[in-house]
Structures are given as C-alpha cells and as structure tokens.
C-alpha cells in the first residue's frame, strides 16, 4: 500500500495517535512512566476508559474518521482483567475490527493492541515510542480525504446547471 | 443552489389543484424501490386520489424542466430512492430538495448507500476497469471510457461525471425523513404515506420505523451463545427453531432496526441488515463486530483469527453490506494517485474551476 508520503521516512511529520488505556493497568502504567521520568514521544492523546472492554469499535472508527493517524488500545494482560474476562472480549473485538480495517486498506501498524500492567511503565512507553515511529514512517492517514471528490465534480455540476439554464431559455 | 432550509413543521397543505403534490425519483438504485411502491397494490389508487403525482420518471412522462419551473417548495412530498454516484444525481437531489417541502430518503440506497455503496471498496478507475475494461462479457481493445465532454460537429455532448465515492442522500442534501429497507415493505410505505397525508409526522430527521432490533420480532428460541465456528449459508441447513446466530450463521438481526417482522429469519435465512442500524447507532458494522466478539468462544489471537478468516472472509461485505457509504469510514482507502485533485480516473474532462457556491450547496451533512 502506498501513501501520500511515499516510502521514505518523514521526520517532519508528527503523527496524531489516540490511545484508549484501561483504568486499572495501562493508564497506571502511563502514570508510572510519568513518575519514573521515562521519556516517550508526546504524540498519543490518551483517553482513560474503565476497561479495554469498554472500547467500542465505534470509538476507533470515529477517531480514524476524524483524522487520527493511528489508534492504540491498551489493557491488562489476558487473565488479569479487573473485570475478570472483559479483556478477552477486547482481544476478539480487536482482531475482528483489524481484519475489517485491513480490508479497507489500513496498514496494521496504525491500529495496535498492547497489554501493559500497572507495573509496566517502561513497556508502555516503549510500545508508544515504537508505534509513533512506525506511523511516522507511514505518513499522514487523512482518512476524510478519501471521500473528497476531485475538482471534476464541481466542474461537472456547473456544467449541468449551465446546460439546464440554456435549455430553459431555448424552450421559453 | 442552496437547498432551502425547511420549515420546522411539515405541511402538506393543498396546492392550487386541491391535492398535495407528490414526486418520486431514483438515483443510484436497482429499481426495486419503485416496484415496492406498487406493492401496496390497490392502495396506489388511494395515493393517486390523495396526491397529484407531478414527477415519477419510472412510470410516467415528466420533464425536469417542469420541476425547474416550479416555485421552491412547490412539491409537498418527494420520495427519493437511490444513492448519489454521479453529478447528474447530485444535481437532481439538490433540485428536488429545493422544490420539496418534505424530502424522504426512501429505501436503503438513499438512507445508507446499500449495495451500490459497496462499490465504495473500489475507486472510479477500478469500477470502470471492471465494467468497460476486463469484464467477462466485455471486448474493448481500444480501452474506451465514458467521457464527461465529447466534441462533435454539432456541439458539445455532456455525460454525468462518475464519483469515486457513492454518497447517501443526506450526505448530499438535508433530508427530512428516512424510510428504511431494501426495499421498504409495502405496509411500512403505506404507514408512511398515511402519516404524511394526515400530517401526523414525527420530528424531522426521524427514521420511520420501530426503535428496536429484528431479534425482537424473531420467533426463534434463544439461549446463551458460544460460537466456535462461523458458517456460511451454503455450508449448513439450519434447524427452524433455534436462533440462527447460535447455529453459527452471521445473522445481523442483533444490530438491525426492526420493522420487517423478521422476514428472513422466518424463512430460515439469516438477517443481512437491510433496515440499517437501530436508532442512535452511528455505525452498523461496529455494532455487529462488538456483539459478535462477545459470543465468540476463543481466547487466543491465533484461534480468533482462524475462526474469522474461515467464517468471515469478507468482513466489510458482511458487516456493512447495506451501510458502507453511511458508515464512519464511508469507503476503503484510495491509493495515493487517486486522492485529491490530482486523481483523474480516465474520465477526461478539464480540471476544475471550483465554485464555492456549488461546493457549499452540496456540503455533506456530516
């Protein structure tokens, strides 16, 4: 799949990522990364959810449709969910949504699932850094540009209006 | 070119001839909606008695010029079926919006894109290639493609411009009501017409239908679901009593707006989702995916991917069969050369002198 920036790395492009982090593990991992002064790029806008199982596919699609360059979903390790087994639902939902998004032409790097416990600040920071670099290499996503027709649409619409106006004058 | 902002309360007040004026139009659709209108049988006579039908290209003679000459708001009700794929269809949508007091997106195509909207998985050039290029019954060694403008000794001949992306009616002009279904069922059409005639219309923007799902109308027995394998319809003959989803068939009844009386599940066929999403749901496929994930009986990535690859090889086609154009992502990703003003899918007209007025008039609802 090609994309607007070609295959070359694009150092000037700052990806906009959205991260849905669960309250009990991954958000605390991000907290831990913060208080441990672990450095990682600021490209991810983090949204705290009570559980990664709360992340409806609608949220991910909405993020992409509004111009996000990538989306990360992060939760407790399988078997360690605060709500017993909801992160298994996250896992199934993630792979189902991923297959759909791949068919729509999205690169897999732009939609990632990460498990990070409250003690894994470093792992979360590493995952975010890695994803930022991967998406930076891919370039901007700009999903809404996909449905903006080129200028020929306006040209054709004007042509119809003119044609009909002329016909009205003739038939008058 | 701006569609007239509609008055807050719909009115079907009598016109000069004594009867309210009705128009029916089709854009990118199959014609099934036109037949569905006739499926109300003898009640079509009541429609003809109640309305003055001013425009219905499928069944009677009528000229676009006559519509253009009408005053704005001169048509009381317009039932518009079909999505918007060409400039001509967009023009007609704008025209009929301007001339109609009440504009109804009639049927799945106008409502959410329907099957023609599935072509949003391809670009214009890919569609042209399939239709005019390497189609099995096509022989076109000169690689001819339709041209927007053709010069002839007699003058310019124009063809509509074919868009990369099919839009729904409400992504093109403001819409007052939606009648879901592929096609809408006769009794629902009749109910809608009755509501219009009697002036008992719900608030603008309403989808005329129940606010529950097909499961509520389905008589099958349901119990707790655990699905180890998705089957495709040709792989199994389901028993006639148990929930089809429990039998491994991807039945979209769980996410689809009711109103059909569960027609398909009653004849042993899974719901395919033609009534679109239930009220307040922005994305039909997201609902399907989130519901199916909850009942899938697999807890490792490998197992999940195997079940999905074997059972749902075409996820977009299954989850968005009727609603791709109206979904949050609207279409698949276009390749680089096809995005933006540079793209020219062999449709050969001059490049753009874009007018802000036209652009504004056709601005999408979302």
**What pLDDT shows up at residue B336?**
60
**What pLDDT shows up at residue B157?**
87
Domain boundary among B174, B209, B244: B209
Residues B198 and B83 in one domain: yes
Return the structure tokens found at B67: 């519509």
Q: How far are the Cα atoms of A29, A79, A93, A118 from residue A90, in angstroms, in the given order?
A: 18, 12, 5, 18
- The end-to-end CA distance of chain B, in Å, is 19
Q: How far are the Cα atoms of A168, B164, B184 from residue B278, in angstroms, in the given order?
A: 44, 28, 15
The answer to whether B157 contacts chain A (CB < 8 Å) is no
B299 with A148: Cβ contact below 8 A: no
Question: B205: helix, coil or strand?
Answer: coil
Q: Work out the mean pLDDT of chain B and round it to a whole number.
A: 87
The answer to whether B88 contacts chain A (CB < 8 Å) is yes
**What pLDDT shows up at residue B198?**
85
Q: How many CB atoms lie within 10 A of CB B221?
A: 10
Query: Hey, where are the domains in chain A?
Result: 17-171
Show the domain range for B273.
214-319
Residues B42 and B176 in one domain: yes
Residues B94 and B239 in one domain: no
| Nearest Cα residue in chain B from A6 | B336
Residues B203 and B219 in one domain: no
Q: Of A33-47, A113-127, A144-158, where does mean pLDDT reach its minimum?
A: A144-158
Domain boundary among B143, B178, B209: B209
Which value, to the nearest 10 degrees, does the dihedral of the CA atoms of residues B176, B182, B187, B190 take? 40
Residues of A with CB below 8 A from B69's CB?
168
Specify if B354 maps to a domain: no
Domain boundary among B299, B319, B339: B319
Specify if B52 maps to a domain: yes
- For the entire predicted model, the pTM comes to 0.88
- Beta-bridge mates of residue B155: B152
Of A64, A145, A168, the CB nearest to B339: A145
pLDDT band at A4 (very low <50, low <70, confident <90, very high): very low
| Nearest Cα residue in chain A from B297 | A92
Specify if B152 maps to a domain: no
- The pLDDT profile of chain B, 366 residues, written as one tens digit per residue, is 344 444 333 444 444 568 999 999 999 999 999 999 988 889 999 888 989 999 999 989 989 999 999 999 999 999 999 999 999 999 999 999 999 999 999 999 999 999 999 999 999 999 999 999 988 888 999 989 999 889 999 988 889 999 999 999 999 999 999 999 999 999 999 999 888 888 888 999 999 999 999 999 999 999 998 999 999 999 999 999 999 999 999 999 999 999 999 999 999 999 999 999 999 999 999 999 999 999 999 999 999 999 999 999 999 999 999 999 999 999 999 976 544 443 333 333 333 333 333 334 334 333
B333 with A61: Cβ contact below 8 A: no
Å between A118 CA and nearest CA of chain B = 22
Cα separation, B309 vs B275, in Å, equals: 27
Check: CB of residue A91 under 8 Å from CB of residue A113: yes
Specify if B195 maps to a domain: yes
**What pLDDT shows up at residue B16?**
53
The DSSP line for A114-170 is EE--TT-HHHHHHHHHHHHHHHHHH----GGGGG---THHHHHHHHHHHHHHHHHHH
Check: CB of residue B248 under 8 Å from CB of residue B270: no
Specify if B150 maps to a domain: no
Cα separation, B347 vs B160, in Å, equals: 10
Residues of B with CB below 8 A from A83's CB?
none
Query: A140-163: per-residue pLDDT in tens?
Result: 999 999 999 888 889 899 989 988
Which of residues 225 through 284 in chain B touch A, CB cutoff 8 A? 282-283
Q: In sequence order, which residues have a C-beta less than 8 Å from that of residue B35 and are 6 or more positions away?
A: B183
The answer to whether B350 contacts chain A (CB < 8 Å) is yes
**What pLDDT shows up at residue B9?**
39
Instruction: Supply angle C-alpha B287, B291, B295, rounded to 5.
Output: 165
Of B294, B308, B351, the CB nearest to A99: B308
- In chain B, the number of structural domains is 2
The domain over range A17-171 is classified in CATH as 3.40.50: yes
Residue (of B149, B337, B338) closest to A149 by Cα position: B338
More confident residue, A49 or B11: A49
Residues B28 and B91 in one domain: yes
The answer to whether B336 contacts chain A (CB < 8 Å) is yes
Residues B72 and B191 in one domain: yes
Q: In sequence order, which residues have a C-beta less than 8 Å from that of residue B77 and are 6 or more positions away?
A: B12, B20, B21, B22, B23, B51, B100, B101, B102, B104, B196
Residue (of A85, A96, A104) closest to A146 by Cα position: A104
Residue B93: give its domain's CATH number. Answer: 3.40.50.700
Of B285, B330, B351, the CB nearest to A147: B330
- Calculate the CA B144 to chain-centre distance: 30
Flag whether pLDDT at A23 surpasses 90. yes
């Amino acid at each position: 799949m090609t994309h607007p920036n070609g295959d070359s790395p694009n150092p000037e492009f700052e990806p906009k990522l959205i991260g849905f982090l669960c309250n009990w593990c991954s958000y605390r991992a991000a907290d831990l990364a913060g208080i441990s002064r672990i450095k990682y790029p600021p490209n991810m806008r983090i949204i705290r959810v009570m559980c990664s199982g709360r992340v409806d596919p609608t949220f991910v699609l909405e993020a992409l449709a509004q111009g996000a360059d990538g989306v990360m979903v992060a939760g407790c390790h399988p078997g360690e969910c605060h709500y017993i087994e909801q992160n298994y639902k996250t896992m199934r939902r993630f792979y189902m949504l991923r297959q759909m998004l791949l068919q729509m032409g999205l690169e897999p790097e732009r939609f990632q699932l990460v498990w990070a416990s409250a003690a894994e600040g470093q792992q979360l920071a590493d995952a975010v850094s890695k994803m930022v670099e991967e998406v930076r290499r891919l370039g901007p996503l700009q999903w809404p540009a996909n449905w903006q027709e080129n200028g020929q649409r306006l040209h054709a619409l004007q042509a119809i209006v003119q044609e009909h106006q002329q016909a009205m004058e003739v038939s008058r | 070119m701006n569609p007239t902002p509609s008055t807050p309360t719909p009115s079907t007040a009598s016109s000069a001839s004594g009867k309210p004026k009705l128009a029916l139009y089709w854009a990118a659709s199959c014609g099934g909606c036109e037949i569905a209108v006739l499926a109300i049988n003898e009640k079509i006579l009541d429609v003809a008695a109640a309305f003055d039908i001013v425009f219905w290209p499928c069944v009677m003679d009528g000229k676009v010029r006559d519509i253009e000459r009408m005053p704005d708001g001169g048509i009381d009700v317009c039932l518009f079926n079909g999505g918007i794929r060409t400039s001509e269809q967009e023009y007609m949508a704008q025209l009929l919006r301007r001339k109609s007091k009440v504009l109804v997106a009639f049927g799945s195509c106008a409502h959410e894109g329907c099957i023609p909207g599935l072509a949003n998985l391809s670009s214009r050039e890919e569609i042209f290639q399939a239709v005019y290029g390497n189609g099995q019954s096509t022989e076109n060694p000169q690689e001819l493609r339709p041209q927007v403008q053709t010069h002839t000794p007699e003058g310019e001949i124009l063809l509509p411009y074919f868009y990369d992306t099919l839009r729904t009616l409400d992504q093109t002009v403001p819409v007052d009501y939606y009648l879901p279904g592929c096609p809408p069922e006769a009794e629902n059409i009749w109910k809608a017409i009755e509501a219009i005639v009697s002036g008992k219309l719900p608030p603008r923007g309403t989808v005329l239908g129940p606010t529950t799902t097909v499961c509520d109308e389905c008589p099958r027995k349901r119990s707790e679901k655990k699905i180890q394998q998705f089957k495709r319809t040709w792989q199994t003959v389901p028993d006639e009593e148990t929930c089809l989803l429990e039998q491994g068939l991807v039945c979209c009844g769980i996410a689809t707006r009711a109103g059909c009386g569960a027609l398909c599940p009653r004849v042993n066929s899974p719901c395919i989702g033609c009534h679109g999403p239930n009220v307040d749901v922005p994305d039909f496929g997201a609902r399907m995916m989130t519901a199916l994930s909850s009942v899938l009986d697999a807890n490792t990535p490998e197992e999940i991917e195997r079940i999905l690859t074997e059972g749902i090889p075409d996820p977009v086609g299954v989850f968005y069969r009727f609603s791709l154009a109206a979904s949050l992502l609207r279409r698949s990703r276009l390749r680089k050369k096809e995005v933006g003003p540079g793209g020219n899918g062999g449709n050969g007209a001059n490049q753009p002198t874009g007018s802000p007025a036209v652009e504004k008039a056709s601005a999408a609802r979302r």
